């Protein structure tokens, strides 16, 4: 008789303990599927655009052969194809359940004095929206997402663990993340941190899910006004058109990998603590889940950038973004998440996020421009989207 299989007991962690154990340099990711804290580097994934999923699969296989139990690749990828990426097989991964409202501690935010520089100035952003509308009017573009940046400099180094904990506390249902994205030449470790409402791709076995968002209204304190805004958003031709571009592209890309795909005919409205968004939850069953080209990272890269962060057609939208946005987006509007040996994983769009380096915080927010967009309303929408990070920094009202 063969000897009984050796069963190693898995340590059981609480979601709040994982969050409390986060230190800059770690990778943290939380979703409804659970939370994950990864430390150390077993292997770095070195590959450029288009080759990352294959390289990730190779290092995962090598790590498994080398004795790593259930290896993962975790990290983040920037917006532009040639942009930087930070992907590793960590040395240690701890997992816990999803965050809940009750078990996240309140943490006061330390810094008090801030210098805030908008890039570009708000009026210049509105001018950029006007230029984008001219391109759309001329038939060159159907949609482009224009973003702007706030650079915040604190009096003291910014505590990323406090910021992350405050983001989770404000919205335990968000996809919260913190990833080390330090690059050569950085004066101090750099961390991408945020709380994204937008699921780019989740894969569990053969089942894939994507939840594109586009079309927005700021959320306010008055519930009657919120009901009015939700109804207006659902009825808005312009917002439904802006949303339809994203849902259609996601459905088309996933359709190429799936044996069946469920695409709801109508969007619904979802709420975050700061915004209302049109949302379409798309689910599918992979035609060949054993194909390494269907890993969660391969699918996420095939989807990126969706028209929720770039535009239609994608090449022209990229050019318009490069021409109209003065700041490089870096990791904003890229992707962050994890992928495993069998291809399961989760990747979210890096929105409602910031890059933190010592005393400096760079945050971005964008808004989709389509025919009928109003420059002042798009500017106000970006200000509202900044509130996720600004509130967590104790700076509400600064945008």
Ligand X SMILES: C=C(O[C@H]1C=CC=C(C(=O)O)[C@@H]1O)C(=O)O
Please say if 385 is a catalytic residue.
no
Distance CA 268, CA 236 (A): 12
Span interacting with ligand X, options 80-88, 207-215, 251-259, 340-348, rule CB under 6 A: 207-215
Cβ closest to ligand X, residue 78 vs residue 90: 78
What end-to-end distance do the CA atoms of the chain give, in Å? 70
Alpha carbon distances (Å) from 39 to 18, 42, 131, 220? 11, 9, 45, 38
Q: Which is nearer to ligand X, 189 or 218 (CB)?
A: 218
Q: Which of 175, 385, 387, 391 binds ligand X (CB under 6 A)?
A: 385
Q: Is residue 272 part of the contact set for ligand X (CB under 6 A)? A: no
> Phi, psi at residue 33, to the nearest 5°?
-75, -15
For residue 68, the minimal CB distance to ligand X (Å) is 35
Question: How many residues touch ligand X (CB under 6 A)?
Answer: 17
The region of 43-51, 60-68, 262-270, 365-373 touching ligand X under the rule CB under 6 A is: 365-373
Sign of CA dihedral 173, 174, 175, 176: negative
Nearer to ligand X among residue 96 and residue 389 (C-beta)? 389
Candidate residues 145, 149, 201, 320; the one interacting with ligand X per rule CB under 6 A? 145
132 binds ligand X (CB under 6 A): no
Q: Rule CB under 6 A: choose which of 148, 166, 203, 277 binds ligand X.
A: 277
- Residue nearer to ligand X on the CB measure, 216 or 295: 216
* 115 vs 398: CA distance, rounded Å: 10
Give the 3-state DSSP-derived string for 125-145, with helices as H, strands as E and coil as C: HHHHHHHHHHHHHCCCCCEEE
Residue with Cβ nearer ligand X (26 or 383)? 383
Collapsed DSSP state (helix, strand, coil) of residue 6: coil
Q: Determine the interface stretch with ligand X among 33-41, 61-69, 152-160, 362-370 (rule: CB under 6 A).
A: 362-370
The stretch near ligand X (CB under 6 A) out of 27-35, 111-119, 156-164, 208-216 is 208-216
Angle between helices 314-324 and 122-137 (to 10 degrees): 150
Of 84, 134, 143, 355, the active-site residue reads 143
Q: Which of 121, 131, 198, 327 is catalytic?
A: 198
Nearer to ligand X, 37 or 324 (CB): 324
Binding to ligand X (CB under 6 A) within 292-351 occurs at: 308-309, 351
Judged by CB under 6 A, which stretch of 14-22, 54-62, 83-91, 366-374 contacts ligand X?
366-374
Contact with ligand X (CB under 6 A) among 75, 78, 128, 368: 368
Q: Is-catalytic flag, 266?
A: no
Interface residue with ligand X, options 214, 282, 299, 363 (CB under 6 A): 214
Contact between 199 and ligand X by CB under 6 A: the answer reads no
Work out whether 229 is an interface residue with ligand X (CB under 6 A).
Answer: no
**Whole-angstrom Cα distance, residue 156 to residue 160?**
12
Residue (159 or 236) nearer to ligand X, CB: 236
Is residue 250 close enough to count as binding ligand X by CB under 6 A?
no
- C-alpha to C-alpha distance for 122 and 34, rounded to whole angstroms: 38
> Out of 72, 163, 168, 213, which residue is the one contacting ligand X (CB under 6 A)?
213
- Spatial separation of the C-alpha atoms in residues 366 and 349, rounded to whole Å: 12
Tell me whether residue 99 or residue 306 sits nearer to ligand X (CB atom): 306
Residue 2 tokens read as 């063969």
Phi-psi region of 362 (alpha: psi -120 to 50; beta: other; left: phi over 0): beta
- Per CB under 6 A, does 176 bind ligand X? no
State how far the Cα of 144 lies from the Cα of 366, in Å rounded to an integer. Answer: 10
Map tokens 């459905």 to a residue: 251
Per-position b or e across 299-337, b if 16+ CB within 10 A of its CB: bbbbbbbbbbbbbbeeebbbebbeebbeeebbbbbbbbb
Residue 180 CB, shortest distance to ligand X, in Å, is 22
At 198 the three-state DSSP class reads coil
Nearest to 310 by CA among 248, 367, 256, 363: 367
Residues annotated catalytic, as ranges = 143, 198
Residues making contact with ligand X (CB under 6 A): 145, 147, 198, 213-216, 277, 308-309, 351-352, 365-368, 385
């Amino acid at each position: 008789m063969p000897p009984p299989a050796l069963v190693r007991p898995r340590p059981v962690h609480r979601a709040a303990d994982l969050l409390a154990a986060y230190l800059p340099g770690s990778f943290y990711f939380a979703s409804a599927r659970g939370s994950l804290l990864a430390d150390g580097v077993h292997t770095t994934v070195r590959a450029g655009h288009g080759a990352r999923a294959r390289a990730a699969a190779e290092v995962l296989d090598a790590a498994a052969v080398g004795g790593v139990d259930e290896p993962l690749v975790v990290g983040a990828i920037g917006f532009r194809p040639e942009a930087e990426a930070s992907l590793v097989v960590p040395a240690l991964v701890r997992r816990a359940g999803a965050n809940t409202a009750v078990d996240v501690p309140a943490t006061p935010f330390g810094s008090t004095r801030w210098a805030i520089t908008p890039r570009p100035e708000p009026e210049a952003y509105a001018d950029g929206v006007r230029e984008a509308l001219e391109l759309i009017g001329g038939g060159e573009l159907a949609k482009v997402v224009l973003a702007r940046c706030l650079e915040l400099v604190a009096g003291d180094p910014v505590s990323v663990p406090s910021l992350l904990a405050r983001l989770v506390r404000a919205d335990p249902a968000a996809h919260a993340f913190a990833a080390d994205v330090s690059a050569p030449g950085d004066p101090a470790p750099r961390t991408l941190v945020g709380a994204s409402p937008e699921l780019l791709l989740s894969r569990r076995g053969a089942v894939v899910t994507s939840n594109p968002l586009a079309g927005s209204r700021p959320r306010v304190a008055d519930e009657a006004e919120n009901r009015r805004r939700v109804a207006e958003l659902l009825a808005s031709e312009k917002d439904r058109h802006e949303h339809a571009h994203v849902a259609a592209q996601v459905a088309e890309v996933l359709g190429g990998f799936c044996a069946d795909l469920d695409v709801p005919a109508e969007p619904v409205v979802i709420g975050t603590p700061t915004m209302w968004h049109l949302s379409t939850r798309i689910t599918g069953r992979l035609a060949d889940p054993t194909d390494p080209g269907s890993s969660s990272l391969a699918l996420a890269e095939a989807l990126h950038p969706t028209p929720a962060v770039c535009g239609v057609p994608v090449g022209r939208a990229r050019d318009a973004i490069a021409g109209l946005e003065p700041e490089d987006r870096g990791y904003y509007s890229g992707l962050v998440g994890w992928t495993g040996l069998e291809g399961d994983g989760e990747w979210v769009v890096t929105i409602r996020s910031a890059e933190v380096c010592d005393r400096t915080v760079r945050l971005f927010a964008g808004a989709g421009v389509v025919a009928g967009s109003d420059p002042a309303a798009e500017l106000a929408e970006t200000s509202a989207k900044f509130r996720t990070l600004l509130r967590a920094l104790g700076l509400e009202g600064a945008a």
